[in-house]
Amino acid sequence: MNKEFFNKKRVIGMVHLLPLPGNASYRGDNAEIEKRALEDAQVLIDNGVDAIMVENFYDWPQYSTEISFAAYSLMLKIATEIRNMCKLPFGVNIEMNAWVQEWTMAYAIGADFIRIEAFCDNRAGSFGMIEACSTGLMDLQKQLPSDTLIFSDVHTAETYGFPNVPINNCAQNCINHDSAAIIVTENDDNKRITVDDVRSMRERIGDFPIIVGAGVKPENVIQYFEAGANAVIVGRGFKTGERVDGKLVSDFMKLVREHYN
């Protein structure tokens, strides 16, 4: 995978893992966590998404910078199995900003990309504080060299900046630190990113890839793309209850492909 991935409008589908070992919400059944993840991944593949990302979405409360060893081991096992069954570009995300674990996992399985929530801006939320990690990640990349791309959030969801750097400035900082794409979920007012926000960022950063990371639905996806987004991430929008729904995925992808081949 390289930046040519963004030459076409892309849809990244999410595999949301049930709560992992060590988390307060853990339900105690590793086999069920794995089974559900593999089934959801297959539904996404069968219904035409452009890429897949696995995330410990249901861990609650969220961690700040790392998950337990048991959780990491299980997530690594699942990610390896999805990587082996998936010919699509594949990425990993460990909330909230477990960048060391993300990079080592990506290195181990040959993941195409990772999502970093606090790459160039410091953030705070209910889980505590997470510091910008671009410098530390650059050092880790030297130790574990890989072609894995960094997709970096700016103003990541449900967080506040300290200091609160304007979102387009954050985006430019990420570009300067070798991010491969910018993910936007919230604007300067800590509200859902709007079409105008995407258009404003496009004007500021030129042709650099922009990904809308939350709140994407059939009724707004084309507007986001028309405003300048190169890709969207869809998680809950592809679900009925806790499960990925093949019809929702298929209908969404049909809509996008009707506009963008």
Give strand ranges (E) for 58-205: 90-93, 113-116, 123-125, 128-130, 149-154, 160-161, 181-184
> What would the pLDDT profile of 20-74 be if each residue is shown by its tens digit?
999 999 999 999 999 999 999 999 999 999 999 999 999 999 999 999 999 999 9
**57 secondary structure, DSSP code:** T
pLDDT of residue 68: 97
How many domains does the chain fold into? 1
- Residue 243, classed as helix, strand or coil, is strand
Mean pLDDT, range 108-116, rounded to an integer: 98
Mean pLDDT, range 8-16, rounded to an integer: 98
Q: What are the beta bridge partners of residue 116?
A: 152
- The boundaries of the domain holding residue 177 are 3-259
pLDDT of residue 236: 96
The edge-to-edge listing of strands for the beta sheet with 160-161 is 128-130, 123-125, 160-161
pLDDT of residue 3: 72
Q: Is the pLDDT of residue 4 over 90?
A: no
Q: Is the pLDDT of residue 1 over 90?
A: no
Mean pLDDT, range 249-261, rounded to an integer: 96
- Residue 171, classed as helix, strand or coil, is helix
pLDDT of residue 147: 95
Contact 198, 228 (CB under 8 A): yes
> What would the pLDDT profile of 75-105 be if each residue is shown by its tens digit?
999 999 999 999 999 999 999 999 999 999 9
pLDDT of residue 2: 75
Give strand ranges (E) for 48-137: 51-55, 90-93, 113-116, 123-125, 128-130
pLDDT of residue 261: 80
Mean pLDDT, range 168-194, rounded to an integer: 96
Mean pLDDT, range 137-158, rounded to an integer: 96
Contact 85, 109 (CB under 8 A): no
Q: Is the pLDDT of residue 231 over 90?
A: yes
At 5, which amino acid appears?
Answer: F
Across the chain, what does the average pLDDT equal? 96
Torsion from C-alpha of 160, 163, 165, 167, nearest 10 degrees: -10
CATH at 51: 3.20.20.70
pTM of the model: 0.97
Tell me what percent of the residues of the chain surpass a pLDDT of 90: 95
